[in-house]
Structure 1
Amino acid sequence: MVRLAFKMKLHKGYEEEYRKRHAVLWPELQLLLKDTGITGYSIFLDESTLDLFGVLTVPDGQALDKLPDQPVMKKWWAYMKDIMDTNVDNSPVSIPLKEVFYLP
């Protein structure tokens, strides 16, 4: 299992909207993430900077490489692009973070 962490940026004033959209995460997106092997997926918000911090566990980090090609993933990114920093393909600007400490 591989634990991965990353950060993204939320636009000012969209904190509650971000929470709302994730509270009703589409079943087909949930299924895709679970079928990819993702477990323990959490996203935290630093309210002072609007940085989003995500962490997840996946059996094989390369399995995530297939997600951008999935129609439901593209649809989710298009749905979220108005409230966070995104790339040209609507995917969130996501900066990988290096683990420096872990206490199992």
Structure 2
Amino acid sequence: MIQKAFKMKLFAGQEEEYKRRHDSIWPELAQTLKEHGAHTYLIFHDKESNYLFAYIEMEGVEMWDKVAKTEICKKWWDHMKDIMETNPDNSPISIELSKVFNLK
């Protein structure tokens, strides 16, 4: 299992819309994530910087990469591109974070 953490950035004033869209995440997208081995997926918002902090536990990097190739994921990216910073393919600009501590 892998643990990934990354940050993304919302456009100003889009915090409530981002939350609204995730509160009603498409069942097909949630199922795709689970079928690809996602166990825990958390996203937090930093109000001062408008950055999102995301953390996911998943079966492996290969499965994470496969999710990004699904049509439902691409459709979700297209749905979200108007409220956050994205790449030319509409995927969110995400900056991977390195783990520096783990309390066991």
TM-score of the alignment, normalized to the shorter chain, above 0.5: yes
Indicate the residue corresponding to 1:36 in structure 2: 36
Indicate the residue corresponding to 2:80 in structure 1: 80
Indicate the residue corresponding to 2:95 in structure 1: 95
Q: TM-score, normalised by structure 1?
A: 0.97
Indicate the residue corresponding to 1:22 in structure 2: 22
Structure 1 residue ranges without an equivalent (≥5):
none
Counterpart secondary structure, 2:34 = helix
Runs of 4+ in 1 over 3 A off after TM superposition: none
1:5 maps to 2:5: yes
CA distance in 2 between counterparts of 1:41 and 1:68 reads 15
**Among the aligned pairs, what percent are the same residue?**
48
Deviation sequence 1:17-39 (CA, Å, 0-9, x none):
00000000000000000001011
| Offset of residue 61 of structure 1 | 1.6
Q: TM-score, normalised by structure 2?
A: 0.97
Structure 2 residue ranges without an equivalent (≥5):
none
* Segment of structure 1 superposing worse, 57-66 or 87-96: 57-66
What's the RMSD between the two structures over aligned residues?
Answer: 0.7
CA distance in 1 between counterparts of 2:89 and 2:79 reads 12
